[in-house]
Amino acid sequence: MTPQDASLKSAEVCGLAPVIPVLVVKDVAHARPLAEALVAGGLPALEVTLRTPVALDVIREMAKVEGGVVGAGTLLTPEDVKNAIAAGATFGVSPGATDTLLDACEAADLPLLAGTSTASDVMRLLERGYTVAKFFPAESNGGAPALKAIGAPLPQMKFCPTGGVSLKNANDYLSLSNTLCVGGSWVAPADLVEKGDWKAIEELAREAAALPR
Ligand code: 3PG
């Protein structure tokens, strides 16, 4: 998959809803009901971070949920890419971008939202042919004003800012011309997941899905 095709696919995923939930799931039994609640609330694109021992099984379970589009987050190595695809992930997310990881995703036809945090990061991805990226960690990097400022000289790159984004500040990003959607964990708080309060999570998803862009 070329970087151009990967960017088209990533833009499609980012276009599904204003928010991509960033999920750290510790119990595979939570996977199905959590994904069902988020999809029912209007957030079909789901990022399952590879940060728990069960993450690949979680992707496997979530991939069975109708209407869901499941991606793997925290992709760091070619091995992660291979495992994520085998589990059913249809897009990838990474905190940064290395040539090794980009090579692996392109070779395996996995569209990647590669992480950027500086103008040079963005320029490197643009040179390679990418026009969609993650901005991470968004709030610590200066938040929406920083992303807006990057967009002045580099308007051709579109972003999914992630890291410190919440219902309170999501609009600051979503109103920018270079922001396609945001990523965030606030729609699936650990306490609600632990309690299995899927109705409450569905409500959080609904609220997030109604954010204007
Ligand atoms: C992460 O790395 O966990 C994501 O960027 C989500 O960040 P958040 O928990 O601040 O939404």
- What is the set of active-site residues? 47, 134
33 near 198, Cβ under 8 Å?
A: yes
Closest residue by Cα to atom 11, ligand 1, is: 184
Token pair for 188: 């699936």
Tell me the CA–centroid distance for residue 165 and ligand 1, in Å.
8
pLDDT at 78: 98
Tell me the CA–centroid distance for residue 161 and ligand 1, in Å.
10
Closest ligand 1 atom, residue 24 Cα: 3
The residue whose CB lies within 8 Å of the most ligand 1 atoms, and thus the one to mutate among 50, 113, 162, 165, is 162
pLDDT at 204: 98
| CB-ligand 1 contact for 44 (6 Å cutoff) | no
The single residue listed with the structure tokens 């051709």 is 156
48 near 74, Cβ under 8 Å?
A: no
Q: Is the pTM of this model over 0.95?
A: yes
Closest residue by Cα to atom 4, ligand 1, is: 163
Token pair for 181: 């959607």
Tell me the CA–centroid distance for residue 96 and ligand 1, in Å.
13
The residue whose CB lies within 8 Å of the most ligand 1 atoms, and thus the one to mutate among 19, 20, 22, is 22
pLDDT at 202: 98
Task: Tell me the pLDDT of the chain (213 aa) as tens digits.
Answer: 999 999 999 999 999 999 999 999 999 999 999 999 999 999 999 999 999 999 999 999 999 999 999 999 999 999 999 999 999 999 999 999 999 999 999 999 999 999 999 999 999 999 999 999 999 999 999 999 999 999 999 999 999 999 999 999 999 999 999 999 999 999 999 999 999 999 999 999 999 999 998
Cα–Cα distance for residue pair 25/15, rounded to 1 Å: 24
| CB-ligand 1 contact for 21 (6 Å cutoff) | no
Dihedrals φ, ψ of 94, to 5°? -135, 150
Cα–Cα distance for residue pair 199/36, rounded to 1 Å: 10
pLDDT at 151: 98
pLDDT at 213: 85
| CB-ligand 1 contact for 138 (6 Å cutoff) | no
